[in-house]
Amino acid sequence: MAHTATTPFVQGVHGVRYQVSDVARSVAFYTRQLGFELQHQQLPAFANVSLGEVSILLSGPGASGSRPMPDGRRQEPGGWNRVVLRVHDLPGLIVALKHAGVRFRNEVETGPGGRQVQIEDPDGNPIELFEPAPSPAGARP
């Protein structure tokens, strides 16, 4: 369903910003382990990787998107907000990622909408891998 913006200021989603300590290492992780494509990089400060229409903006310590807040709070990796990647064959992907040494935050959780597991990029930023439940017979996608 198409959605019309109610404000002339917001044009769309530019991307999801993740704070990282080593931009080159993060680019390698996202491109090699998860199949993202490198769009742009200005090492060592910044890179943009994308998967389809979703971009992750990787901001290193020298990036303008990593500077401390006016009250002194530092922007740091980690937390619980996360990008969610839709996958197929979650068990097979888990085996491949474990073989590659990727860190897992939990075991697979299953619910009515599907199953998911959380992994971490090299800086501890969470990524959720989500496999939707099969549609009931006769249901429309």
110-132 pLDDT, tens digit each? 988 999 999 999 999 999 999 99
Determine, yes or no, domain membership for 38: yes
Segments forming the whole domain that contains residue 59? 16-63+76-132
Say yes or no to pLDDT of 6 above 70: no
Quote the CA–CA distance of 73 and 70 in Å, as a whole number: 7
Determine, yes or no, domain membership for 10: no
Q: What is the pLDDT of residue 11?
A: 75
Phi-psi region of 23 (alpha: psi -120 to 50; beta: other; left: phi over 0): alpha
Q: Which residues lie across from 128 on neighbouring strands?
A: 84, 118
Say yes or no to pLDDT of 2 above 60: no
Determine, yes or no, domain membership for 102: yes
Strands 16-19 and 54-59: parallel
- Total domain count, the chain: 1
Determine, yes or no, domain membership for 88: yes
Domain CATH for 45: 3.10.180.10
Quote the CA–CA distance of 33 and 56 in Å, as a whole number: 14
HSE-up of 77 (CA within 13 Å, CB side)? 19
Q: Which helix (H) or strand (E) element contains residue 129?
A: strand 126-132
20-71 pLDDT, tens digit each? 999 999 999 999 999 999 999 999 999 999 999 999 999 999 898 899 999 9
What is the pTM assigned to this prediction? 0.81
Determine, yes or no, domain membership for 138: no
